[in-house]
Amino acid sequence: MQEQNYWLTTVEMPTADGSRPLPETADVAVIGAGFTGLSAARTLAMRGARVAVLEAESIGWGASSRNGGMVLTGMKLGVHKLISMYGRELTRRMYAASLASMDCVEQIVREERIDCAFSRCGHLEVACKQKHFDNYQRQAEIIEVEFNHKLRVVPRSELSSEIGSSIYFGGMVDDVSAGCNPARYVAGLARSARKAGAEIFEHARVESIVRDSRNGELGWKVSTSRGQLWAHEVFVGTSGYTGPATPTLQKKLIPIGSFIIATEILPKALAKELSPRNRMIYDSKNYLYYYRLTPDGRMLFGGRAAFFPETDQTIRRSADLLRRGMIGVYPQLRDARVEYVWGGTLDFAFDIMPHAGQMDGMYYAVGYAGHGVAMATFQGQKIAEMMAGDKPENPFVGIPFPGAPLGLYNGKPWFLPFAGAWYKVLDWVN
C-alpha cells in the first residue's frame, strides 16, 4: 500500500516556472490555487484583471486534488435546520445556489473541455438507523415542496438496486448530483485560469498582508516567501489550510482531517455488484463514511477516521480504520488489496455553513464542510463577479459568520479530540 493520493497518479498537474519573479503589482492577488482561488482567478482574468495566484505549495496541492470527487447538491446541514436558522426565503435561495453550483462546475468542464470524468451519476445517502430512514421521507417531502427538487426514497427492500450492502435501513437518491476526478478537474481549472491570463506562482507562501497606498491608491502589500507584490485587491481561498497571514479568518475556521483509501482495480462484476448505478454514496452518521467507484473501477472509501489534519501517523492509522469500515459495509472486499491511502484537510465554520464576502477589507470564500467541489468553484466565480462590480445572486454573502463560542479559539484546534469523541457519542444516541 502506498501513502499516496490515487488521483494524482491519473493526471499531469500543470506546474509554474519557479524562476519567474512575482510581478511588482497586480489588480488582484489570489491566495490559494485550489477550486476557490482558481475559479476566482479564471473569472477575474476573463474580465481583464491582472491576476497573480499565490500558492504556498503547488497547484491543486490542498483538498482540491485529494477529495472524493463528489459534486453534491445541498449543504452539510439538513433542510429543517437551515430553515430554523435562516427562514424559508433565504433557505430557498441557498438551496437554489447549491443546485447552481453544480451547473457551474458542469459549464466550466464543458467550456474548457476538462477531461475529468464529470458525470451526473447521482448520489445515494444510506441510513444507518431506522430513525434516520424515517427522516428521509420527511426531508424529501419538504425539499420537493419548498425547493421544487425531487429526491427518491428507497426502502430497504429495494436498496439492492442501489448498493451491494445489506447493513443499511434504506436510502435516498438525488439524481442531479455528479462525480468527477477532482485532480484532473483542478488541473483543468488551473490551465483555464492561465489561458484567461492569470499568472500562478507556486511555493509562494503569503506571510503577511498589510494595507498600503501606492501613487495615492489604496491597496495591499502582500509579502510572500518569494518576495513582495502590491495588489489593489486580495482574494483569500485557503480553506482548511488558512493560516496566520489572515488571522481573523483563521479563528473562524476549524481544520478537520479526512482520509481516503482506494483498492486495487476490482473485477467488473464485483464493482457492479457494490454500486450498480455507480452513485456517489455517503451514510447518515455524523462520523460518516463516503465512498464511490473510481472511473477505472477501484473502491474509493473515505471518512473522518482520525479528525486531526493529515500527518504520516494519522494517515497510517486511518488506512487501518477505513479498511475495517469498508469491510463492514462491503464484506465482499475482504480480500481486495488496498493500494492507496491519503488524507487532506477541509474547513468547517462554527455554524457548518459556507461563508463568503469581505473581511478586514479582503475578499474571501471558505467553510465548505466537505461539500466544496461544487460550492468552492461557485463561490470563487461569484465573489470574482462581485469584485468586478456585478451583483451576482449569492445568498451566502452577508449571513452571520460566528466565531467560537465565548471566543475560546485562537486558530489551533485543541478541542478536536473532544469533538471527535462527541460526534461518536451523537452517532450512538441519535
Ligand X SMILES: Cc1cc2nc3c(=O)[nH]c(=O)nc-3n(C[C@H](O)[C@H](O)[C@H](O)COP(=O)(O)OP(=O)(O)OC[C@H]3O[C@@H](n4cnc5c(N)ncnc54)[C@H](O)[C@@H]3O)c2cc1C
Q: How far is the CB of 347 from ligand X (least distance, A)?
A: 7
Convert residues 354-373 into a mask of x (bound to ligand X by CB under 6 A) and - (unbound): --------------x-xxxx
Of the pair 91, 258, the CB lying nearest ligand X is at: 258
Contact call for residue 344 and ligand X (CB under 6 A):
yes
Contact call for residue 33 and ligand X (CB under 6 A):
yes
Of the pair 55, 106, the CB lying nearest ligand X is at: 55
Q: Which of 14, 34, 219, 413 lies at the binding interface for ligand X (CB under 6 A)? A: 34
Q: How far is the CB of 156 from ligand X (least distance, A)?
A: 25
Contact call for residue 381 and ligand X (CB under 6 A):
no
Q: How far is the CB of 384 from ligand X (least distance, A)?
A: 13
Q: How far is the CB of 241 from ligand X (least distance, A)?
A: 4
Q: Which of 50, 205, 214, 272 lies at the binding interface for ligand X (CB under 6 A)? A: 205
Contact call for residue 104 and ligand X (CB under 6 A):
no
Contact call for residue 5 and ligand X (CB under 6 A):
no
Quick check: 303 and 361 in contact, CB under 8 A?
no
Quick check: 396 and 383 in contact, CB under 8 A?
no
**Binding region for ligand X (CB under 6 A) out of 43-51, 58-66, 127-135, 168-176:** 58-66
Q: How far is the CB of 158 from ligand X (least distance, A)?
A: 25
Q: How far is the CB of 290 from ligand X (least distance, A)?
A: 6
Residues in 292-311 that interact with ligand X by CB under 6 A: 302
Residues in 242-281 that interact with ligand X by CB under 6 A: 243, 245, 258, 260
Q: Which of 63, 261, 262, 362 lies at the binding interface for ligand X (CB under 6 A)? A: 63
Interface residues with ligand X (CB under 6 A)? 31-37, 54-57, 61-64, 66-70, 72, 205-206, 237-241, 243, 245, 258, 260, 302, 344-346, 368, 370-373, 376
